[in-house]
Amino acid sequence: MADRDGLEVSADVRSLIKSLVSAETDLEAFLGRVVAARSYAHAFDLKMVEVTGTKCKIEDLDSLFHAVNRGLAWACDLPRQDPPLEAPFDEDPLLAHREFFRRLLAARRPEAPRVRVFTTNYDTVIERSLDEAGIQYFDGFVGSVRRRIELASYEQDLYTAPEGGAGSLRRVHDVVHLYKMHGSLTWRVETTAALGTTTVVQSDGPPTGAEVAVIYPTPTKEADVLGHPYSDFLRSFSTALIQPECVLLSLGYGFADEHINRIIFDALSHNASLQLFVADPNSVVDDLKAATPGEPIERSDSPVGRLSNVQDPRISVLTGSNARFTELADLLPDVSEMTDREREELKEALASALLSPAEPDPPVDQ
């Protein structure tokens, strides 16, 4: 694990990382096991504890947790140029993200509910993209110099007043609600000295020194934060999916988190108007080019591959090159280049599709 900006680990911890972590290790799952082992050791005041067959000193395990936590946070400090990005993203890495949000917001009615973005990613690509695009967003934090989490801020909204103060307020059109369900590389836990209470605050970047990022899973000693805000964001996700005529765009999510899957599938069973659109370029079939035209496509044994076999007109799965996020934005209609008549026809077509789903079709677009 490379040291960055003064982040250092001892030789003992490096040896422990070498024995426990391989190139195939799921670091998030591994971090969960380390957290559980630390909890067990601290609860019973143990000096040694066993992790995946290796005995560890508790102080080395604590250092290992901090090392993996910081390593994950640094690894998610995106965008990167390694490996080099393809043009035009080599010069403008966030171009596709800005274009996606621009087209998505431009196609919505001014009175429509706010776009809600739920992400399990730790990086700040979405925040940076919205900033660059000049799009206002609520992320659950308030304040300027010291931004702290305050979930009631999602109940706020933005309006503009007419010149001179006369007339009706106008709702700001381009606003996004952002929920980072697994935390963020910029989140930290801060303890108030006077009251001894903890809260989540925002920092400028990945953790340095002894800092720890609030990313899932959270250390047990911060158990109050483990429930808040993660559980609150999951509740908001569940509430959003039961709203009438809700459309869930799943981009880059591999359906590997059971706690999130349960919310999605439960909403599908209770909300008849919920539409689920999944874009995944790789997880549906092992080799799309090998598929015989006119013959049924053999899906891969992955969560998304199995989902694509579900015969439900409310579920659509897009795979192949068009499902790459860099290509996906171009598939969205660009309302800014449409005539007024074309805009109205698009809105009518979308409304009709939501209210009267078509007959089941093969769920995979090639």
Q: What is the DSSP string of 204-222?
A: SSS--TT----BSSPPGGG
Our measurement of the distance from residue 109's CA atom to the centroid of its chain's CA atoms, rounded to an integer in Å, reads 25
Compute the distance between CA of residue 329 and CA of residue 173 in angstroms, rounded to an integer.
20
How far apart, in whole angstroms, are the C-alpha atoms of residue 243 and residue 222? 33
CA angle 303, 251, 270 (to 5 degrees): 65
- Which residue spans within the chain are E strands per DSSP? 48-51, 54-57, 115-119, 136-138, 141-142, 148-149, 159-160, 170-171, 175-180, 187-191, 198-202, 247-251, 275-279, 315-318, 364-365
Taking only the tens of pLDDT, the chain with its 366 residues reads: 444 554 577 787 888 888 887 777 787 788 888 888 888 888 899 999 888 788 888 888 888 888 888 888 988 998 887 778 888 888 999 999 999 999 999 888 888 899 999 999 999 999 999 999 999 999 999 998 889 999 999 999 999 988 776 778 889 989 999 999 999 999 998 887 666 678 899 999 999 888 889 988 766 444 444 567 888 999 999 999 999 999 999 998 999 889 999 999 999 999 999 999 999 988 887 665 656 666 777 788 888 988 988 889 999 998 888 889 988 888 887 877 777 777 677 666 545 544 333 333 333 443
Which pair of tokens denotes residue 315? 């579920």
What pLDDT was estimated at residue 349? Answer: 58
pLDDT at 174: 92
Residues making up the chain, counted from first to last:
366
Residues 6+ apart with CB under 8 A from 343: 335
Other C-beta atoms closer than 10 Å to the C-beta of 6 total 7
Number of Cβ within 10 Å of residue 55's Cβ equals: 8
Instruction: Write out the two tokens for 309.
Output: 């076999």
The rounded distance, in Å, linking the Cα atoms of 142 and 130 is 17
pLDDT of residue 293: 66
Kind and range of the H or E run holding 101: helix 95-106
User: How many angstroms separate the Cα of 65 from the Cα of each of 55, 121, 195, 263?
Assistant: 15, 19, 27, 29
Residues 6+ apart with CB under 8 A from 65: 31, 34, 35, 38, 219
Q: How far apart are CA 258 and CA 254, in angstroms?
A: 11
The amino acid occupying position 142 is V
What pLDDT was estimated at residue 69?
Answer: 87
Residues 6+ apart with CB under 8 A from 98: 129, 132, 133
User: Residue 122: CB partners within 8 Å, gap ≥ 6?
Assistant: 72, 73, 76, 180, 182, 183, 184, 185, 213, 215
CB 310, CB 320: distance < 8 Å: no
Strand partners, 188: 201
Q: Give yes or no for a contact between 188 and 201, defined as CB atoms under 8 angstroms apart.
A: yes
Note the pLDDT of residue 224: 45
CB atoms within 10 A of CB 130: 22
Query: How many other C-beta atoms can be found within 10 angstroms of the C-beta atom of residue 70?
Result: 25
Question: b/e string for 93-105 if b means 16 or more Cβ within 10 A?
Answer: bbbbbbbbbbbbb
Res 216: pLDDT: 82
pLDDT at 354: 41
